[in-house]
């Protein structure tokens, strides 16, 4: 079973989930626009954090699929579950944008966002570790050091998101800040170390 | 006529129909979010069942197109009708999520969902059997045992969905449960038998 | 300039425009669902007619691009304008579905739909005739009889849609029926003559 | 790291952002449709300007990626930020369409549109100049005159959009007209000089 259609399907869902985020932005048309555009700053922040997060996961998926030589039906099914979580991201993003400023709803919004990204990170690990264990689905010529490097760096994701999610139980605002910080950290790290 | 653009168009519609499912999720912003997130659990369930169902059909479409060597205009037209039903799935999914708990609407919602998936399964069979009869559109080197295997396993889909749909006439909740069970069964079966 | 990314971009827009049509379907959640699902039958009809129409245009675009060997910047720009009309189709489709039954709005709805499809057919002809005149952008080995055949069959589109659109000035319902008849005719013709 | 999946992801976002623009069009269903279709002419204009603008950026991206031979992680991250702005365009497009006629909101709408396109043009320049400086990411056989030509023509974009954006501070309507003029100019220029 070739991997190119899985890549096409995955790229489609990554691209659509990221683009659908824009539908979360809305203004109240009955008041002057200038004030509205300042009021909804959390919507811009949530849009940027989720778009960049999806972009980073897409780039990492790119790295994973580059090491994968072929796929089996189990890998396909885990991919569908993983993509189901990617496509879910626009929903908790809207909740975070609209409810982080409401005392009675901020915790639920930060938890919903964190749980979604924690599950995404966990399933991404399942996907990779299934392919890499015993080099079952890897290319013949996959470099063992690259494989080990991916395994090490992927272990960080779920732990970071579990911490940020648990933080939402006491400090929803700091939890939300941590989701942003994770995205900024990745972009900054790529800016410094990701040049040829 | 090459088949690669049909694959690109199909992958686009599969991926997009699955991603659009997220627009069905909504909360009432005037009450605390925590309660709302628990109240809409049928929306999560319907999202998961439809996403996985579309994912499974996509994976099976992958299998079909792998056996197909070229396409003709009739195959293209049946594909368009088949994809029209795939892209329709988000609508009955929303109905099922919102109306399965309302006594006066549950039956209509479960019927709408079932009729859509039954027609999808029937058209998928028409598509495959047109290609496979007399090996008209198959690759020269398509393995006859694989071809027979697809034909056998595809016969199950319409029957299962007809049964689940008819069930909606008496027991809408059990019908809805059966749609979920079909999706879970496929994922579980792939988890057990779909490993290399 | 290679043509593969234009195909990818076009396939994306064809697939998204067709899939977005589903967002036009909505029911009133405050009345029993069964009646609502019967009441909105014009929405199903409009969805099917527009999805099939986009599918037919996509299949014809497939045929055109198969004859085209390379593209220039003028061809790209006409393609963008053509795709702008394809992506516009969901809007008049919603108007047709919702307003064809309202005496004071049916004419405007049928006109909006017809003008959109007439312009689409005209731009599709501009696109093809620019590529085919003097065989400017065609493949070296493009068969002259196929080229002539496409030119002849494409001439029919704008004329048919102009007639259906003008009909809307007197008989919006018959005009709407003619849009449906055109789609059904193409599918039926392919079913009879489009087999290998 | 190969560039083909970046192209697929980018094409998906370009195509999807352009297609989502149609969701900005809406009419008031409680008044006759004919009048409504004339009243919302700014929505058609904004749809066309943004669709063509995205189409032009897509065609230019096509030109850039044709010169690029491979990508690194920094290029991927800048691409994600660039695509984040492309996917953002539907939001200020809706603001421009709905608010350009309201004295108290026109300026904010024209500024929002201009700032978005200015940032897009700036990031597109960063993307290109990073790839082209020292020919770091270019193909071995990239023609130096083509590379210089792209660099020169790309410098114009941010300047033009900064001027149009600043104009919004005094004359929002003229600013909006300038966004349209830029799009029309590109299409006209391609129509005259873009033929083989």
Answer whether D112 touches A (CB < 8 Å). Answer: yes
Minimum distance, in Å, between the CA of residue C117 and any CA atom of chain B: 19
**pLDDT(D137) > 90:** yes
- pLDDT, tens only, D100-115: 999 999 999 999 999 9
Per residue of chain C (196 residues), give pLDDT as tens.
678 889 889 999 999 999 999 999 999 988 999 999 999 999 999 999 999 999 999 999 988 999 999 898 899 999 999 999 999 999 999 999 999 999 999 999 999 999 999 999 999 999 999 999 989 999 999 999 999 999 998 999 999 999 999 999 999 999 999 999 999 998 888 888 767 6
Range of the domain at A120: 4-193
Helix (H) or strand (E) holding D112: helix D106-132
D-proximal residues of A, 134-193, CB under 8 Å: 186-187, 190-191, 193
Question: Which residues is D68 bridged to in the sheet?
Answer: D138
Q: Which two tokens stand for residue C65?
A: 């691009």
Distance CA A72, CA B127 (A): 24
Residue in A65, A194, A196 nearest the CB of D77:
A194
C58 close contact with D: CB closer than 8 A: no
Q: Which residues of chain A have pLDDT under 50?
A: none
Q: Do A74 and B195 touch (CB under 8 A)?
A: yes
The conformation of residue D3, written as its DSSP 8-state character, comes to: S
Token pair listed for A101: 């400023």
Which chain A residues are within 8 Å of D13, Cβ to Cβ? 15, 18-19
Q: CA of B109: which chain C residue's CA is closest?
A: C33
What whole-number distance in Å separates Cα of residue A79 and Cα of residue C8? 23
CB contact D127 to A (< 8 Å):
no
CA–CA distance from A80 to each of B158, B193, B194, D48 (Å)?
Answer: 22, 17, 14, 36
Give D98's contacts (C-beta < 8 A, 6+ positions apart).
Answer: A29, D42, D43, D109
Check residue D135 and give left, alpha or beta (phi > 0: left; psi -120 to 50: alpha).
left
Backbone angles phi, psi at B68, to 5 degrees: -80, 135
Alpha-carbon distance A97 to A50, whole Å?
11
Domain count, chain B: 1
Residue of C nearest to D22 (CA): C88
Instruction: Give the model confidence (pLDDT) of A140-192 as tens digits.
Output: 999 999 999 999 989 999 999 999 999 999 999 999 999 999 999 988 888 88
Q: Of B23, D37, A162, whose CA–CA distance to C19 is shortest?
A: B23
Token digits of residue C155? 């001439």
Evaluate if residue B79 carries a pLDDT over 90.
yes
Is the predicted pLDDT of residue D196 greater than 70, yes or no?
no
pLDDT of residue C52: 97
pTM: 0.95
Confidence of residue D16 (pLDDT cuts 50, 70, 90): very high
Buried b (16+ CB within 10 A) or exposed e, D104-142: ebbbbbbbbbbebbbbbbbbbbebbebbbeeebbbeeeb
Q: Is A77 on the interface with B (CB under 8 A)?
A: yes
Euclidean distance between CA atoms D149 and C72, whole angstroms:
17
Mean pLDDT along residues D29-44 = 93
Confidence of residue B1 (pLDDT cuts 50, 70, 90): low
In this prediction, what percent of chain D has a pLDDT beyond 70?
98
**Residue C158, CA atoms < 13 Å, CB-side half-sphere:** 12
Whole-angstrom Cα Rg for chain C: 18
Q: In chain C, which residue's Cα lies nearest the Cα of B3?
A: C62
| Closest chain A residue to D90, measured at CA | A22
CA distance B194 to chain A (A): 5
B46-67 pLDDT, tens digit per residue, is: 999 999 999 999 999 988 999 9
């Amino acid at each position: 079973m070739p991997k190119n259609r899985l890549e096409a399907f995955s790229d489609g869902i990554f691209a659509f989930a990221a683009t659908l985020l824009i539908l979360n932005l809305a203004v109240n048309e009955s008041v002057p626009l200038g004030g509205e555009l300042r009021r909804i700053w959390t919507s811009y922040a949530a849009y940027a954090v989720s778009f960049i997060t999806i972009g980073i996961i897409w780039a990492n998926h790119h790295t994973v699929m580059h090491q994968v030589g072929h796929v089996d039906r189990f890998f396909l099914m885990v991919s569908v579950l993983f993509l189901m979580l990617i496509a879910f991201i626009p929903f908790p993003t809207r909740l975070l944008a609209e409810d982080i400023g409401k005392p009675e709803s901020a915790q639920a919004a930060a938890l919903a966002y964190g749980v979604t990204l924690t599950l995404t990170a966990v399933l991404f690990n399942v996907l990779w570790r299934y392919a890499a264990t015993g080099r079952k689905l890897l290319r013949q010529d996959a470099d063992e050091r690259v494989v080990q490097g991916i395994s090490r760096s992927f272990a960080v994701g779920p732990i970071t998101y579990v911490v940020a999610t648990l933080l939402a139980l006491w400090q929803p605002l700091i939890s939300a800040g941590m989701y942003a910080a994770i995205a900024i950290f990745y972009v900054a790290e790529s800016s410094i170390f990701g040049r040829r």
